[in-house]
Amino acid sequence: MFKNNFYSYVGGTRSDIAMSIESYFEVMEVLLDQYLSREMLFNFKNCSQVLNDIVVSAPLAFLPFSLLGTQWLFAGANRKGANKAYGPILASVHMLVLWRAYTAPIPNKLYTKIIADPTVDGQYIRTQLSVMKPGLWQVLSRELYHKGYRFPEMLEFKTATEFPTGFVKPY
């Protein structure tokens, strides 16, 4: 019998890796499928399915917060014609609320399963991140170190200054 290891997006604890939806999609864009095992591809599929559901449902779920923010901005506007500006301001506030929702780091068990994988898949993911996305890898490496994970790819164990050259094409 196949055991479904599907995790929910809000199922993380403090011991799990925290990443934003935006950061997860940045991780996905530097990886090639042919270098990952079927199990790791399944983990990515599960995480992508959950995050895509969040991306689609977030505009409706966060609309009440946007309405409250717009009401707060219009608290003293009782003059004639103030309602004409309500729509554009609501749209602007809603975009800011959604931006915050998509960029807020939230812990997730699937992030931990993907980034802290001790197999060759995890090593490939961490190496690609350190070469192709050094800013994101600096944040994730620090978080892995503070959560108790130890991998040779982590920046905390590098003694010399190394510059990534994986994105530079040789002559």
| 112 inside domain | yes
User: Is the pTM value of this prediction over 0.85?
Assistant: no
Domain count, the chain: 1
Residue 84 lies in a domain: no
**171 residues of the chain, pLDDT tens digit each:** 444 444 445 567 888 889 999 999 999 999 998 999 999 999 999 888 888 888 899 999 999 999 888 888 877 666 565 666 778 888 889 999 999 989 999 888 889 999 999 999 999 999 999 889 988 999 999 999 999 998 888 888 776 566 666 566 665
Residue 100's alpha-carbon distances to 65, 74, 95, in angstroms, are 12, 21, 9
Domain annotation covers residue 80: no
Q: Does the residue 4 lie in any domain? A: no
Q: Is residue 153 part of a domain?
A: yes
Backbone angles phi, psi at 71, to 5 degrees: -60, -40
Amino acid letter at 79? R
Answer yes or no: are the C-beta atoms of 9 and 50 closer than 8 Å: yes
Task: Say what the pLDDT of residue 152 is.
Answer: 87
Domain contains 111: yes
Range of the domain at 53: 18-62+104-157
The answer for residues whose C-beta is within 8 angstroms of residue 21's C-beta and 6 or more apart is 51, 54, 55, 102, 103
- Tens digit of pLDDT for each residue in 81-106? 566 677 888 888 999 999 998 999 98
Residue 93 belongs to a domain: no
